[in-house]
Structure 1
Amino acid sequence: MSLWKLGIIFIIPVLYGVPLSSKERETVCGYGSCHTVDDNKINVHLVPHSHDDVGWLKTVDQYYYYEVQYILSSVVAALLENPDRRFIQVETAYFYTWWNQQTDLIKSEVRQLVNEGRLEIVNGAWSMNDEAAVHYQCTIDQYTLGLRVIEDALGKCARPRVGWQIDPFGHSREQASLLSQFGMDAIFFARLDYRDRAKRQNDRSMDMLWRGSANLGSGSTIFASALYHQYNCPSDFCFDIHCNDPPIIIDKDSPEYNWEDRVNEFVNFVREQSQLYPTNHILITLGDDFQYQAAHNDFINIDRLIEGFKVFNPTMDGKELNVIYSTPSCYTKAVRDYVEAKNLTLDLKLDDFFPFSYTPNSVFTGYFTSRPTSKRLERFANNLQQVTKQLTALSGDSYSYNNTLGQAIGVMQHHDAITGTEKEAVEKDYHRSIVKGMNEAHPHINSAFSSLIGMTDSLNLKSCLLSNVSICSESDKDEFSILIYNPLARNTSHYIQVPVNDGTWKITDPSGTKYNEFYFTDIKQVLSTGGEIENQLTDPIRNFDYITKDTGEKVLDKVLIFRAENLPALGYKVYKFQRISSESSFHFSELGIAGPIGFSDRYITFNQDNGLLKSITLHNTTLDVTQQLMFYKSCSGISDAYVFRPDVDERDAIELGNVTNTVFVNDGNLIREVKQVWNDWATQIIRLYKEEDFIEFDWLVGPIDVSDDIGKEVITRYSTELNTGGVFYTDSNGREIIYRKKDYRPTYEYTEEEPQAGNYYPVNTKIFVKDDERRFSVITDRSEGGSSMNSGEIELMLNRNLLHTEEGVTGENLNETEYGQFLVARGSHFVTVGEPTTGNSGRSMAAIERDIAQRKFLQPWVFYTTDQVSVKEQSFLNAELPVNRTGLKKKNKILIRLEHILEKNEDPELSKQVTVDISDLFKTIKIVSMEEFTLGANTPLEENERLVWPQIADTEDKSGSFE
């Protein structure tokens, strides 16, 4: 497998679609179904569509039952009336609900429309995902879900050939890379910075080629088209029932007759747009949000518009116009053929389209952080989803690939869900769906585990979904067990936190086990002594009693921490907990911070005058680091769920105030903790682990004080002594790293109207700064907005409470409530430092950071039980995968994904290609045949034939992360 490539293999062949009935005509789908174009004319591609958000101002169900179901039914009926008509369907979540409510006759007619290219599926994902706040693994999963549903219902002709990302607020390079690996030929989008748009229009480079990966070469290149007028209808040409534009009237005897005038008006629009694109093809969208509920209104007028160009034959600058019904894929093919025929060279895009600005003062960087608890819930739920898929696949359980939790997470990728740009009631509905899915997954987990272990009675494993606020009825006992499952395909060790009652606790694990523990290049053999496991009590970060009014559950007194050693690859261990005394083993004491705090090889120091962090020592490297919580005053009426804009009269971030208390609260053998309190709504614990590659900053922000009637956007800022010259690095959806520089854009001239917001970028898992000698990195537990405003700095936005934005898009302020008060957000940053190239024990810092990010994204899952588990420890693999491969992700039928998690040249040894033998990898599965598929798992690789663009063969990028 090629370096950095995601390989996909189905072990059990997949059946595609449903056989055509005798009434369905011969398949003529794909590019062969496109209407004829003429290279000697201006070809105008009219694309009817409806953009149907899966939640935003209304919930998913409200949108579907009040609007979307009528759109789909109306469109199908209208398409059947005229074989020339075309329509594109995008959101599979809605199509799936509608499809299941149709008769066999309607289903047969829909397949006919798809097979003839008259109804085209584009994108094909469960939702039109955001591209800033999503993780690439979740994007892949929600595409796989949508593509499989479409394929099973409609067959091969329904395979999407283009991405349709018209509404997200900026676009990531990784999205382009993923689409190319799904086998798609193009991506269409609408939102790019106003300066970028102006330059591209002037240069006629609105159509371009986009290199999605610095590692995959020309194979990741995809055609990209920026839509001219967003994605709505041209002005005065909206024929939907929601619009007031005049219809096209062809009766010459009517005083309302306007046919020829309307055709000429449209010519003017075509002239304006055609001057901005590089070929004689232009694409014009005819649609908008939730349009075509009465599709006949739209189509009858489009029919007349097209016919009018044939009747009146207007010309534009001496050229005739060929106005046709079309689709984005037909437009792509036409442009590609024209480019080849004319030997044209399109602009080559190498970076991304962040941040996005409509105007100089509206920079869409606030949504990188908005609704931080939603962003964490999505990451948390995905962790359980991967665990569930693995276990049910290994056991042969009937957990469908199309399950409740997968659907809920797929919806959560939507660009008004994970972004936090929806109404608060809609957010609560997203949470309801996710929690429902998590609860429904547990019976399948119990059945799977029981089968795998060989138990006749089903286990009763439970999860504590509120353990981060010290609520867990399953551990509110004097004796219980936990089963820890490791979803990574390699052994790992993890510090586990369990809410418990105060007292002295004894933990035991399976005994006498010899094992190898992998630390990338290092392998050390350890002999477990068995019996009692060292543990340590600590206090919760704050009192969460206010939550009990809604949950009715008890908040537990303490948090018990221990290190789960050598959790087996794709396996588990069982630990038994006993409270042997009610006398506490932890006594809170305020210890001094005068000297180094930590362990001999990893420690921190503090400034005695202000109580702030002073330095970090880790990986044999010491770096001066100051960290503090701060806030921006939000600009009234502008800074909202989408937009980040500090107050124009006081732009710079303001210190939250003096640290009222910096206390060394825990000096145990496993962890050392320093608690810092700024005020009653801003607290953090800096936690050092005896055996970890990072220092944890466990922060809690909220409810943010807005009693002064000023909205606040709270950040954490890490200031180091590194000389970075304004350069910093962020990840792209958790995968490749992208070079950033303050006040700079690689493709257009940057202007400084918004010096803070204009320099913010999405941080999905990592941001770092470096010089020639040292590197400072922060790994996040969710997506956040981040930047480097000054040399050596990293700042990340944690929580936002905004006022006076009720006139914005949603009609609401972003001051969400939870449990009867303004939002409280808790999270963690995992900070690491070291030499960039060698790091610790010969590892590069890049390899260390990849390891941390992977272990935090797919953490061991803690199940609670009072049952006696017959087998206390085992792995379901016969051998671990190499440490620079990701853990397996399993689905029914069985789907395996292997991934190299390091980029080219990130590590001298670990970036090399690795051979993996999976023929006898699983203990419970016998592999008898294999077939490789595209990344979305809907197309066998041998059937994948992407369009070839002649110019890309000789333009291999050599720039790595595009420095």
Structure 2
Amino acid sequence: MTFAVLLFCVFFALSVEGKPLAEGEPTCGYEACPKVGSDTFNVHLIPHSHDDVGWLKTPDQYYFQDVQNIISSVVDALKQNPERRFVQVETAFFQKWWEQQKPYTREALQKLVNNGQFEFINAAWSMNDEAAVHYQSTIDQFTLGLRYIQDNLGKCARPKVAWQIDPFGHSREQASISAHMGFDSMFFARLDYRDKNRRLDNRSMDLLWRGSANLGNTSDIFTSVLYRHYSAPPNFCFDIVCNDAAINDDPESPDYNLEERVGEFADFVREQAKHYPTNNILVTMGDDFRYEAAMTTYMNLDLLIKGFETFEQKVDDKRIKVLYSTPSCYTKAVHDYVNSNNQALELKTDDFFPYADGPNTYWTGYFTSRPASKHFERQGNNLLQVVKQVAANLQQPYDREEMTELKEAVGVMQHHDAITGTEKQHVAKNYHFLLSRAMKSANDFVGAQLSIFISRDAFDFEFDSCLLANVSSCDKTNSDRFTLVVYNPLSHTTTTTVMLPVYERTSWKITDPDGNSVDYQIDSSLTDFTYVEDATTSANTVQFAAKDLPPHGYKVYQFEATKKEETGKPSPRRVVGYDNASFEISEQTGLLEAVTLNGIRVEVSQDFQYYESQDSSGAYIFVPQGQEAKRIASGPITTTLVTGNVSQGVLQEFGSWARQFIKVYKDDQSFIEFDWIIGPIDISDNVGKEVVTKFTTPLKNNGEFYTDSNGREFIKRTRNHRPDYDYSDEQPVSGNYYPVNNRIAIRDDDQKIELAIITDRSQGGSSLNDGEVELMVHRACQHDDGRGVGENLNEQEFGQGIKVRGKHYLVVGPTSGQEKKSLAAIEREIAQRKTVTPWFFVSNKDATGALNQLQHSGLKSDLPENVHLLTLEPWDDDTVLLRLEHVLEKGEDDNLSKDVTVDLSDLFTFFTINELQETTLGANMLLEENVRMHWPGSSDDGSQKVKDVTDLKVTLPPMEIRTFVAKITYNPL
């Protein structure tokens, strides 16, 4: 055995165990990039396959029918020629392939990774959407994918590129996340056709994007817009599914065409070269599910490259050099060029929403499509945070099966054809199956851990999460006695309203952990859910305030049925609520007409309306007939007053397929709640309908409104305007729709009043007229919109159109807030509580006489109110991964929008932190190892500002997230 072979074998044995690579062993990353010349025009060929984690087929169908063949075929082809390259993106698919491989195949791939031929880019679990995703889920699914790649293939597999080539518009927060993952560049294909035309004209297809208005230049990332979607150039697809002519380099053959094909490709290159700012262009050589027979494509590309070496072609005065490359190598070439020429790229500071691929075709429908699925994903993320916290506190391993399964299912749901609702119906059902199975498994794990804590026995309580409580069904509450655990995953003490179905209009004795009786009330369910198959539904809901829930902790409540009591009907009244929070209902229309919150009264009306769809409206695209929405109710609506010890509210009936509770809670008077149910949408007239909730006020917002970017920073929107290009308003409704992940707001600057609506899932929203806010809540379309899914969007469930239930939270007040807290800070606190909300576990077994603790906290004290513990999960032996974030932007609050320091030395109940190692946002690299590229026009020099945390004190400026691997010692319980 030669020394070189021995060295490689030793390297491989270390790398597959995920151990760090020794310096100098492999040549990968930028060092492995092909050489480009300053005196040549460099054409970077990017062999790639875009592999959707579900769309027209389920993820498993795509993997077993396509993707496993793609990766295997590519590996074989790369071994034949060291010049060839390939980029791999989705870790969900790569994991399946890797787990099936024999050692010699893994060894071959490891070598290809180490020499830069097989390069991972993005490497998240899936290529996530950027409109309907929450930043926490995005970060989590990147962390999962990056960790898997690092553990199995080592440092050379670390990606340096964000490859978001297929999402339908692009968010500023995604750019910021990518920069803080340590990525040097971001690539995508879809932007508004007018924006693209402008960039083509002024050669700004390569640009610098600033992803944060708060974090400044550290969020800058080089961004390149692909020239022709992500497909191969016309006539140059050599895949077996294509019919383009192969290249023939035999001059004796009557089909010889090498010189002709070189000339044809050179013409394409010269045209593309007109639109990019340097002597480099990137040409994608791939498409959806390509390279199942990779040698077919690579042999033709070999000949194409050879042809350019034989038959000289030029761009202006530079000889065209065609080479195998990767997006990271293209980034390096552009970086070297602009730095050597001190050439600043155009700076982008907002986002790329909404996306239109032509006149009157705005991809704004998917902001709302499949709203029940969007909420289910939010629940999955909520439970995942609970699972990770419990696992970290109770010394569970990183790869605990139940936790891993839920991480993977939530990761798949972030895919740009999953959370978007743009998949076929059978694929949507598969996504729901995967997530529900994972949530059931995770529930059983957490339930057992809680049972141990409460009674010292994992089997004493069989806790359920009651995922069907929204349709008034929970088997475990169908009993005269049951036990409820309310777990608070937030890092602050909080109060939440518990709502559970109960099966008789019975009186209850509810006891808290200290033995005190708890006030409650029983209301009728929002609607009749008896149509739900295989579920025992209830006509009544019990609600009570679970007060002062400890951070990262729980309280146990016990329920006992008592003698039935008759309750009188409340008298109707116009003003409903309490001194600090109330609303008024019009006696003439039955609609909301005013609210009082935060010390002021504002006239606010709310109604459900719908746009009739044009034939081109579908899963992706929203095209209404006309600009005016129609009311669901044809006249005044029916109202019923509902009051009790916990809340006061009004039940409104807008028609046969729209009902709503408006409520104010006695123990949480920071918002007005709108608990609505819509469906089945009436399309018996064969006209699709897009249902919206519309809030109307006399506020003057002068055409401006604000929406969040993936749940974090606010971005100002201006009606009928785009900052970067001339906007034509041929579609004034859908063209002004933006993604709303958790908050939309309007402000009257003269009165210094703001109104905001906080959502429980991602939706499309806008302010189409001054004083108005509207959010799309449900859609049923009669036609496919021609963008590939091949089905109209009309979800069916239990033999009828799907009913969707959701909640909105209205907040209004002076922008300066009340006393010490601004309205923006109040809104963010509510949004946080409604995104990662306390989780309910129910058992029909009695906790009376439990041997251990009926309440417990994972933190010894609350974190500062402007700090959130975003992540706590097991990592390695005696380490946990934790992320701290500042939840406010600069200037949002006079007192809270400032740097804040958190002392971690004695914060956690279950363990003590001994040492902190700061990492990049994705946790796959120590921060001190990450050196990003510097670009002219950005004052960020690329080096990471590593701060001393030896004293375990972490300082956060507004909007910063800091990620740490913490070495810990577990405390005796």
CA deviations on 1:262-321 (whole Å, 9 max, x unpaired) are 000000000110000011100000000000000000100000000110011222323201
Task: Give the RMSD, CA atoms, in angstroms.
Answer: 1.9
**What is the CA-CA distance between 1:743 and the residue it aligns to?**
0.2
Q: Secondary structure at the match of 1:889?
A: strand
Per the alignment, residue 661 of structure 1 pairs with: 637
Per the alignment, residue 866 of structure 2 pairs with: 884
**What is the CA-CA distance between 1:26 and the residue it aligns to?**
3.9
CA distance in 1, matches of 2:274, 2:580: 64
Per the alignment, residue 592 of structure 1 pairs with: 572
**What is the CA-CA distance between 1:18 and the residue it aligns to?**
3.4
CA distance in 2, matches of 1:474, 1:448: 18
Structure 1, unpaired ranges of 5+: 1-14, 512-529
Per the alignment, residue 483 of structure 1 pairs with: 485
> Is 1:934 matched with 2:914?
no
CA distance in 2, matches of 1:429, 1:584: 46
Q: Which amino acid aligns with 1:790?
A: N
Q: Secondary structure at the match of 2:482?
A: strand
CA deviations on 1:240-264 (whole Å, 9 max, x unpaired) are 0010000000111111110000000
Per the alignment, residue 728 of structure 2 pairs with: 751
Per the alignment, residue 173 of structure 1 pairs with: 172
**What is the CA-CA distance between 1:412 and the residue it aligns to?**
0.4
**What is the CA-CA distance between 1:882 and the residue it aligns to?**
1.2
Aligned pairs for 1:159-170 within 5 A = 159-170=158-169
Q: Cα 1:699–1:483, aligned 2, differ >3 Å: closer, same or farther? A: same
**What is the CA-CA distance between 1:123 and the residue it aligns to?**
0.3
CA distance in 2, matches of 1:588, 1:815: 39
Aligned pairs for 1:553-702 within 5 A = 553-585=535-567, 587=568, 591-593=571-573, 595-636=574-615, 638-647=616-625, 650-658=626-634, 660-692=636-668, 693-702=670-679
- Are the equivalent residues in 1 in contact too, given 2:477–2:501 (CA < 8 A)? yes
> Is 1:906 matched with 2:892?
yes
Per the alignment, residue 819 of structure 2 pairs with: 841
Q: Secondary structure at the match of 1:929?
A: strand
Match of 1:505 among 493, 500, 508: 508
Per the alignment, residue 201 of structure 2 pairs with: 202
Per the alignment, residue 424 of structure 1 pairs with: 425
CA distance in 2, matches of 1:756, 1:532: 52
Per the alignment, residue 446 of structure 2 pairs with: 445
- Are the equivalent residues in 1 in contact too, given 2:642–2:651 (CA < 8 A)? no
Q: Cα 1:21–1:207, aligned 2, differ >3 Å: closer, same or farther? A: closer
Q: Secondary structure at the match of 2:806?
A: strand
**What is the CA-CA distance between 1:599 and the residue it aligns to?**
1.2
- Are the equivalent residues in 1 in contact too, given 2:128–2:414 (CA < 8 A)? yes
Q: Cα 1:85–1:796, aligned 2, differ >3 Å: closer, same or farther? A: same
Aligned pairs for 1:79-118 within 5 A = 79-118=78-117
Q: Secondary structure at the match of 2:938?
A: helix
**What is the CA-CA distance between 1:69 and the residue it aligns to?**
0.4
Q: Secondary structure at the match of 2:47?
A: strand
Q: For structure 1, which segment, 189-198 or 928-937, has the greater mean C-alpha deviation from structure 2 after superposition? A: 928-937
- Are the equivalent residues in 2 in contact too, given 1:186–1:332 (CA < 8 A)? yes
Q: For structure 1, which segment, 276-285 or 941-950, has the greater mean C-alpha deviation from structure 2 after superposition? A: 941-950
> Is 1:740 matched with 2:722?
no
Q: For structure 1, which segment, 812-821 or 69-78, has the greater mean C-alpha deviation from structure 2 after superposition? A: 812-821
Q: Give me the TM-score of the superposition, normalised by structure 2.
A: 0.92
Aligned pairs for 1:63-462 within 5 A = 63-398=62-397, 400=399, 403-450=404-451, 452=453, 455-458=456-459, 459-462=461-464
Structure 2, unpaired ranges of 5+: 1-13, 943-957, 960-973
CA distance in 1, matches of 2:787, 2:212: 36
- Are the equivalent residues in 2 in contact too, given 1:390–1:888 (CA < 8 A)? no
- Percent sequence identity is 50
- Are the equivalent residues in 2 in contact too, given 1:21–1:108 (CA < 8 A)? no
Q: Which amino acid aligns with 2:903?
A: D
**What is the CA-CA distance between 1:20 and the residue it aligns to?**
9.6
**What is the CA-CA distance between 1:374 and the residue it aligns to?**
0.3
- Are the equivalent residues in 2 in contact too, given 1:490–1:880 (CA < 8 A)? yes
- Are the equivalent residues in 2 in contact too, given 1:659–1:676 (CA < 8 A)? no
CA distance in 2, matches of 1:955, 1:621: 48
**What is the CA-CA distance between 1:655 and the residue it aligns to?**
1.6
CA distance in 2, matches of 1:753, 1:543: 42
- Are the equivalent residues in 2 in contact too, given 1:611–1:659 (CA < 8 A)? no
Q: Secondary structure at the match of 2:794?
A: coil
Per the alignment, residue 472 of structure 2 pairs with: 470
CA distance in 2, matches of 1:807, 1:457: 53
Q: Which amino acid aligns with 2:606?
A: Q
- Are the equivalent residues in 2 in contact too, given 1:397–1:448 (CA < 8 A)? no
> Is 1:767 matched with 2:744?
yes
Per the alignment, residue 779 of structure 1 pairs with: 758
**What is the CA-CA distance between 1:448 and the residue it aligns to?**
2.9
Per the alignment, residue 6 of structure 1 pairs with: none
CA distance in 2, matches of 1:417, 1:52: 13
CA deviations on 1:386-422 (whole Å, 9 max, x unpaired) are 0001001100123627711110110000000000000
**What is the CA-CA distance between 1:659 and the residue it aligns to?**
5.2
Q: Which amino acid aligns with 1:781?
A: D
Q: Secondary structure at the match of 2:286?
A: strand
Q: Secondary structure at the match of 2:123?
A: coil
Q: Cα 1:659–1:493, aligned 2, differ >3 Å: closer, same or farther? A: farther
CA deviations on 1:755-814 (whole Å, 9 max, x unpaired) are 101000000000000112211000000000000000011000000000032765222110
Q: Secondary structure at the match of 1:829?
A: strand
**What is the CA-CA distance between 1:928 and the residue it aligns to?**
2.4
Per the alignment, residue 536 of structure 1 pairs with: 521
Q: Which amino acid aligns with 1:383?
A: N
Q: Which amino acid aligns with 1:689?
A: Y
- Are the equivalent residues in 1 in contact too, given 2:19–2:154 (CA < 8 A)? no
**What is the CA-CA distance between 1:664 and the residue it aligns to?**
3.5
Q: Secondary structure at the match of 1:58?
A: coil
Q: Cα 1:292–1:218, aligned 2, differ >3 Å: closer, same or farther? A: same
CA distance in 2, matches of 1:857, 1:192: 29
Match of 1:917 among 903, 914, 919: 903
CA deviations on 1:861-890 (whole Å, 9 max, x unpaired) are 110121534311111222221121113522
CA distance in 2, matches of 1:510, 1:922: 22
Q: Which amino acid aligns with 1:542?
A: T
CA deviations on 1:466-486 (whole Å, 9 max, x unpaired) are 001100000011111101100
CA distance in 1, matches of 2:789, 2:447: 42
Per the alignment, residue 861 of structure 1 pairs with: 839
CA deviations on 1:334-373 (whole Å, 9 max, x unpaired) are 1011001111110000000000000011100000000000
CA distance in 1, matches of 2:121, 2:494: 40
CA deviations on 1:683-722 (whole Å, 9 max, x unpaired) are 1111111232000011111000000110000001101111
CA distance in 2, matches of 1:19, 1:148: 9
Q: Which amino acid aligns with 1:560?
A: V
**What is the CA-CA distance between 1:450 and the residue it aligns to?**
4.5
**What is the CA-CA distance between 1:667 and the residue it aligns to?**
2.2
Q: Secondary structure at the match of 1:915?
A: strand
Q: Which amino acid aligns with 2:599?
A: N
Per the alignment, residue 514 of structure 1 pairs with: none
- Are the equivalent residues in 2 in contact too, given 1:504–1:584 (CA < 8 A)? no
Structure scoring higher RCO (CA < 8 A, sep ≥ 6) equals: 1
Q: Cα 1:810–1:818, aligned 2, differ >3 Å: closer, same or farther? A: same
Q: Give me the TM-score of the superposition, normalised by structure 1.
A: 0.93
Q: Secondary structure at the match of 2:755?
A: strand
CA deviations on 1:659-687 (whole Å, 9 max, x unpaired) are 55332421223211111111110111111
> Is 1:713 matched with 2:716?
no
> Is 1:723 matched with 2:700?
yes
**What is the CA-CA distance between 1:578 and the residue it aligns to?**
1.1
Per the alignment, residue 962 of structure 2 pairs with: none
CA distance in 1, matches of 2:517, 2:811: 31
**What is the CA-CA distance between 1:609 and the residue it aligns to?**
2.1
Q: Secondary structure at the match of 1:828?
A: strand
